[in-house]
Amino acid sequence: MSRSEIAAKPFPLSVDLARAALVIIDMQRDFLEPGGFGAALGNDVSLLMAAVEPCRRMLAGARAAGLLVIHTREGHRPDLSDAPRAKVERGAPEKRIGAPGPMGRILIRGEAGHDIVPALAPLPEEPVIDKPGKGAFYQTDLDLMLRNRGIETLLVCGVTTEVCVHTTVREANDRGYRCLVLADACASYFPEFHEVGLRMIAAQGGIFGWVSTTDTVLAALAAQDQAA
Ligand code: C5J
């Protein structure tokens, strides 16, 4: 497969799409839906919901093109043995990780709120990385999976831009992966953090990665299909 030149900031990125994976970060009900953890903390979850449709389109395009698709979820074991006290003890007790919420215990694996939103439900063959931290590489087998498949470039989307997307992109960058972040398929409860978060990634000649859009990447996938 030939390389595709994908328009991006700070400059176009040459991608071997056969060695690219789509990584969808934490599109979980607890973060996105009314009544979840994010909403309980007082956030406007509609800001995050705006990323669902771009993610859905990107997911459909990646599946059609045969790309490796990886989903991540932030959450913990029911006994909280993998949750640092410093993380659990943050905030009001009734809104902490493990506390009962409208969609089950907040950010606990197996609870309804921990699940990925139905529009982006993983297929059985798509790996789901359950991560205890913000970064998708921390204490997971993501790096092993990517290396086993010869992946070089990550197409990254999901929430939140400045927390789990950013942390994952930084981790990936240090491990030698090129990261192309899809601006419209990421979101934050804080629009200004989203904007600045994206600018930080592409700053200084692409210090952590590149920033593009769903449509741009979908067009590159379609062009590759036609050329094949
Ligand atoms: C947060 C995330 N914001 N997925 N998680 O705690 O960004």
Q: Which structural domains are found in the chain, ordered by start?
A: 3-226 (3.40.50.850)
Q: Is 32 in the pocket of ligand 1 (CB under 6 A)?
A: no
pLDDT at 91: 85
Query: Has residue 225 got a pLDDT over 80?
Result: no
Question: Tell me: the pLDDT tens digits for 8-42?
Answer: 999 999 999 999 999 999 999 999 999 888 998 89
Q: Is 23 in the pocket of ligand 1 (CB under 6 A)?
A: no
Name the β-bridge partners of 102: 104
Between 128 and 224, the more confident residue is 128
pLDDT at 1: 52
Question: Tell me: the pLDDT tens digits for 86-110?
Answer: 999 998 999 999 999 889 999 999 9
DSSP sequence for 41-93: TT--THHHHTTHHHHHHHHHHHHHHT-EEEEEEE-B-TT-TTS-HHHHTSS-G
Query: Has residue 2 got a pLDDT over 90?
Result: no
For the chain, the residue count is: 228
Q: What is the pTM of this model?
A: 0.97
Cite the active site residues.
26, 131, 164
Q: Is 220 in the pocket of ligand 1 (CB under 6 A)?
A: no
What does DSSP say about strands 178-187 and 68-74: parallel, antiparallel, or unpaired? unpaired
Neighbour count for residue 133 (Cβ, 10 Å) = 18
**Two tokens at 40?**
């309980």
Neighbour count for residue 10 (Cβ, 10 Å) = 16
Question: Tell me: the pLDDT tens digits for 148-206?
Answer: 999 999 999 999 999 999 999 999 999 999 999 999 999 999 999 999 999 999 999 99
Q: What value does the mean pLDDT of the chain take?
A: 96
Could you identify the residue written with the tokens 């859905």? 56
* Distance, CA of 133 to CA of 67 (rounded, Å): 25
pLDDT band at 227 (very low <50, low <70, confident <90, very high): confident
Ligand 1 probe mutation, 24, 74, 166, most atoms within 8 A of CB = 74
Check if the beta carbon of residue 185 is closer than 8 Å to that of residue 51.
yes
At 189 the three-state DSSP class reads coil
Q: Backbone phi, then psi, for 24, in 5-degree steps? A: -105, 115
